[in-house]
Amino acid sequence: MTAPLLAVAAYLTGAFPTSFVVGRAFHGIDLRAHGSGNLGATNAYRVLGWRAAVPIFLVDIFKGWLPVFWFPMLDGSPAPEWALLYGTGAIVGHVYSAYVGFKGGKGVATGAGVFLALAPVAVLVGLAVWAGLVFTTRMVSLGSIAAAATLPLVVFLTEGTGPVFYLAAALAAFVIWAHRANIRRLVRGDELRFVRRVGTTARAENAESASSNDGAPVHTPEDR
């Protein structure tokens, strides 16, 4: 299979709308119309709970890892740059999925999957930063921004400059840009913390959201 076709396949792999499928198939919920309206694991956790969010998060990571790890074995090209293109395609697919009207997530989990194949040490450090901040502040947005900023720094320290570093820097810039509204709220000090009301079912929460907002998405701060 030629590398350009594999690049298209990488986009289509990344574009698989994991949270949309899980929400529709197992909960009868379109996540685009609930919570923040974002098709990522954070909004899935808020609306559907952790049992849905954990597999969504893992599949979104896998969507980024698979094309970068496997497709270079199929393309017949010695150029390592194709692996970077496959990773970029997967991230773009996740953020702008053709399957669901070019909606998607913010690329954090799928980007982590891409770099798990390209620079695993950097991903592990970024994951530690993310987990530490989310645990201490309960702000997923802050953890995601800090982890994104950490990624190119660790790639630079471990591998120097080069195509992987530039892709890491581009991904970090995109993730930070995607969280620009969250950054404004962080500066103002009114970013909400990551909580889920204990004892309230996802269906009840969504019924309440629909009745109080005429069916429009409830835009909560952390993954808008």
| Model pLDDT, residue 221 | 38
The residue with tokens 């697919």 is 93
| Model pLDDT, residue 138 | 87
Length of the chain: 224
The Cα 187–Cα 182 span in angstroms is: 9
| Residues 24-32: contacts with CB under 8 Å, at least 24 apart | 26/52, 27/52, 27/202, 27/203, 29/202, 29/203, 29/206, 32/100, 32/103, 32/217
**Among 47, 163, 40, residue whose Cα is nearest residue 94:** 40
Tens of pLDDT, residue by residue, the chain (224 residues): 688 899 999 999 999 999 999 999 999 999 999 988 889 998 998 899 989 999 999 999 999 999 999 999 998 777 778 999 999 999 999 999 999 999 999 999 999 999 999 999 999 999 999 999 999 998 888 999 999 999 999 999 999 999 999 999 999 999 999 888 889 989 998 887 766 543 344 444 444 443 333 334 444 434 43
**Among 98, 96, 88, 36, residue whose Cα is nearest residue 64:** 88
| Model pLDDT, residue 204 | 42
| Model pLDDT, residue 195 | 61
| Model pLDDT, residue 174 | 93
| Residues 149-154: contacts with CB under 8 Å, at least 24 apart | 149/176, 150/122, 150/125, 150/126, 151/115, 151/119, 151/122, 151/123, 151/126, 154/119, 154/121, 154/122, 154/125, 154/126
| Model pLDDT, residue 1 | 63
**Angle at CA 220, nearest 5°, toward 19 and 195?**
80
CA-to-CA separations, 214 to 33, 210, 211, 219, in angstroms, rounded:
11, 5, 6, 13
